[in-house]
Amino acid sequence: MKLACVVHRYGADIAGGSEGHCRLVAEHLAARHDVTVLTTTARDHITWANHYPAGESSIGGVRVLRFPVVRQRHIHRFMDLSDLVFADRGSRDDEEQWFRENGPDAPGLIDYLRQQGAAFDRVLFWAYRYANSYFGLPLVADRAVLVPTAEEDPLIHVDAVGPLFAQPRGFLFLTPEEETLVSMRAAPGRPSQVIGCGLDPASGPADLSPLDGLGLTDPFVVYVGRVDPNKGCQALMRHFQRYAEHGRAVQLVMAGPASMPIPSHPSIKALGFVSDAVREALLTRARALVMPSPFESLSMVLLEAWNRGLPALVNARCKVLRGQVTRADGGLYYGNTTEFSAALDYLLDRPDAARALGGQGLAYVDREYRWPVVMEKIERVLAQTG
Amino acid sequence: MPEPKLRVDAVMSDIERDVRSRLRRHLIKRGGAAEYHDEELFELVRATLARAVEERNLDAMLLPELLDTDVEWRLQSHLSLSSHRPVAGRFILFFKRRVLLPLTRWLFEYSQDNFRRQDHLNRVLFACIEELALENARLRRDVAHAGTRRPT
């Protein structure tokens, strides 16, 4: 088949969840299909400032067409409009304007879909919240497959989302929770699959030497990802500081670029952006992965941790994380500081039980998230949406 | 023979029971409601409030609809600038947008952040009231039904 994958940003150096998911799926699809990625020249997910050259290139064996962004995101205007729309006080025009302000505003990409969309057998769109999906999908609805990457945030309840979800011929979901959330508003009977994301088995024991000199002390628990209040990091550090007040000797390692101040605390170690080697070593040596995000459509880091047999401690208020942990029997969850402390105590005081939970997480990944399993599901939806 | 599976639900059930018990003791120690000496009563209260906080959809509640009268009560966390002056208004708005707002942006954002927190808290309180009203309505209906079924 001739396939197009439409995504707001694309590149080997882009760490974002839906962008990374798109890249992995596109590269695996390219083994059997003629795949073109349609994306923008943006790298920065806040401003959408142009970074990559426009035009054609090849990444990981996949043809990539980039279209320039004509207007950077005005973050204050966007936040003000978000307040209006999410409080259900905006008009339908305001809601549509929200997608425009969210961007990225790349009219060349939309024009390309309008003129060339029919040349593709299927057009796959990643992330419903961005302008390229909202304005692009209706142009090729008869061949569109949406990977919504929907979270239980206020946008999902906005009226303008209903007509968008009614249009694609098929859906690829990341978790059963996302499927439930979107299916309520999607046209009935459309082919769909819960695919998650594929992982290759971990390649033997990780080399721990990249951790030397980083100032880590055992035992430690690790957070991997963007250090951002929207990812629950503020709450995590608050919970952890309260936990550390009781004198427990354990370190919280924050591995990821920070977009918020990190408190200076003897038990909190911020590493900033880390290489893949450090990341692998952290996931091998840590006693648990902590995932505080209140909104997730799928946590790739959680799957990577389980791939290394590491148990997880996740925010119970995020249905997706709680659902993943419960289905896998691969970790614990917390809803407040007291539960956070009790669950962390359990994982630290009972290493055998913690190891068992991590092992069950690995078994779950083996069952559900290996590439042959994931690709078979995607192929089924591509075949059914013809 | 494979090792027996460690069930997350079972572990979490033990942890949550322990946390509830600690919370009850903590509240009693701090001079909380005397009724919390009764463990069963405490659990009923906790479960009612937890249902409101964790399970209610904060965007779909009855009380805000009933409050929606002529008097504006909602916190407005977005900023809209306008002027009633037909001629000078354009210049006033330009001054507000280009000079005043950038200079006071830090204060605006600080206030906006606090308004958002207050808005969330208001909605949680609405949810608690709604949960209590529902509980009350259910009990009233049960009592009424029990009254009609009483043998004469």
At residue B152, the pLDDT reads 57
Give burial (CB, 10 Å; 0-12/13-18/19+) of B42: buried
A23 and A67 together in one domain:
yes
Q: Whole-angstrom Cα distance, residue B95 to residue B91?
A: 6
**Are A282 and A232 in the same domain?**
yes
The whole-number pLDDT of residue B27 equals: 94
B24, part of any domain: no
Task: Evaluate whether residue A204 is within a structural domain.
Answer: no
**Cβ neighbours of residue A267 closer than 8 Å, sequence gap 6 or more:** A240, A244, A249, A250, A251, A252
Residue in B with minimal Cα distance to A346: B15
Mean pLDDT of chain A: 92
User: Is the confidence metric ipTM above 0.85 for this complex?
Assistant: no
* Predicted TM-score of the model (pTM): 0.82
pLDDT of residue B1: 52
Strand-pair partners of A334: A315
Asked whether residue A185 falls in the same domain as residue A248, the answer is no
Residues A155 and A31 in one domain: yes
More confident residue, A145 or B85: A145
Spell out which chain B residues touch chain A, with contact meaning CB-CB distance below 8 angstroms. Answer: 3, 5-9, 11-12, 15-16, 18-19, 22-23, 54, 59, 74, 77-80, 105, 112, 116
Q: pLDDT digits over A76-111, tens only?
A: 888 888 888 887 778 899 999 999 999 999 999 999
Which of A87, A335, A346 is the closest to B11 by Cβ?
A346
One pLDDT digit (tens) per residue for chain B, 152 residues: 566 689 999 999 999 999 999 999 999 999 999 999 999 999 999 999 999 988 888 888 898 888 876 677 777 777 777 777 777 788 888 887 777 777 787 888 888 888 888 988 999 999 999 999 999 999 999 999 988 876 65
Q: Is A81 in contact with B78 (Cβ distance < 8 A)?
A: yes
Regarding whether A39 and A184 lie in a shared domain, the answer is yes
- Taking the C-alpha atoms of residue A19 and residue A27, their distance in angstroms, rounded to an integer, is 12
**pLDDT exceeds 90 at position A381:** yes
Taking CB atoms and an 8 Å limit, are A357 and B6 in contact across chains? yes
Q: Does A321 touch chain B (CB under 8 A)?
A: no
Q: Please indicate, yes or no, whether residues A176 and A214 belong to a single structural domain of this protein.
A: no
What confidence category does residue A247 fall into, taking pLDDT thresholds of 50, 70 and 90? confident
Q: What local confidence, expressed as pLDDT, does residue A147 receive?
A: 97
The pLDDT assigned to A186 comes to 83
Instruction: Give a yes or no: residue A130 inside a domain.
Output: yes
Residue B2 pLDDT: 60
Number of domains, chain A: 2
Residue B121 in any domain: the answer is: yes
Taking the CA of residue A105 and the nearest CA in chain B, the distance in Å comes to: 23
Of A89, A331, A339, the CB nearest to B15: A339
Binned at pLDDT 50, 70 and 90, residue A213 comes out as: confident
Instruction: Write the pLDDT tens digit of every residue in A284-341.
Output: 999 999 999 998 888 889 999 999 999 999 999 899 999 999 999 999 999 999 999 9
Q: What pLDDT score was predicted for residue B108?
A: 82
Q: Which residues of A touch B9 (CB under 8 A)?
A: 326
Q: Do B8 and A157 touch (CB under 8 A)?
A: no
- Note whether residue A9 is domain-resident: yes
Which among A329, A337, A349, A364 is the top mutation candidate for probing chain B, defined by the most B β-carbons within 10 Å of its own β-carbon?
A329
Are residue A225 and residue A95 in the same domain, yes or no?
Answer: no
Residue A87 sits in the same domain as residue A194: yes
Q: Report pLDDT for B65.
A: 84
Q: What residues make up the domain containing A273?
A: 209-367
What's the total number of domains in chain B? 1
Contacts of B19 in chain A (CB under 8 A): 338-339, 342
Residue from A91, A98, A338 whose CB has the most chain B CBs within 10 Å, to mutate: A338
**Is residue B25, in this structure, part of any structural domain at all?**
no
The dihedral built from the CA positions of residue A383, A172, B59 and A159, taken in this order, carries a sign that is negative
**Residue A140 pLDDT class (50, 70, 90 cuts):** very high
Q: A333 in a domain, yes or no?
A: yes
Note whether A91 contacts B: Cβ–Cβ < 8 A: no
**One domain, residues A223 and A347:** yes
User: In chain A, what percentage of residues exceed pLDDT 70?
Assistant: 99
Q: Is the pLDDT of residue A115 over 70?
A: yes
The verdict on residue A203 lying in a domain is no
For the stretch A163-199, pLDDT in tens is 999 999 999 999 999 999 998 888 888 999 999 999 9
Do residues A84 and A180 share a domain?
yes
- Cα A165 to Cα A117, A157, A160: the distances in Å are 19, 12, 9
- Host domain of residue B70: 61-149
Whether A178 and A270 share a structural domain = no
Q: What is the percent of chain A where pLDDT is above 90? A: 74
Q: Do B78 and A88 touch (CB under 8 A)?
A: no
Q: Does residue A72 contact residue A98 with C-beta atoms inside 8 Å?
A: no
Looking at the domain assignment, is residue B7 inside a domain? Answer: no
Nearest CA in chain A to B50: A335
Q: Does A85 touch chain B (CB under 8 A)?
A: no
Chain A's closest residue to B22, CA to CA, is: A338
Q: Note the pLDDT of residue A358.
A: 96
Same domain membership, residue A290 and residue A172: no
Q: DSSP characters for B67-122?
A: H-SSS--S---S-------TTTHHHHHHHIIIIIHHHHHHHHHHHHHHHHHHHHHH
Mutate to test the interface with A, among B5, B11, B81 (most CBs of A within 10 A): B11
**Chain B nearest C-alpha distance from A337 (Å):** 10
**CATH code of residue A299:** 3.40.50.2000
Q: Note whether B78 contacts A83, CB cutoff 8 Å.
A: yes
Best mutation site among B5, B12, B120 for testing chain A: the one with the most A CBs within 10 Å?
B12
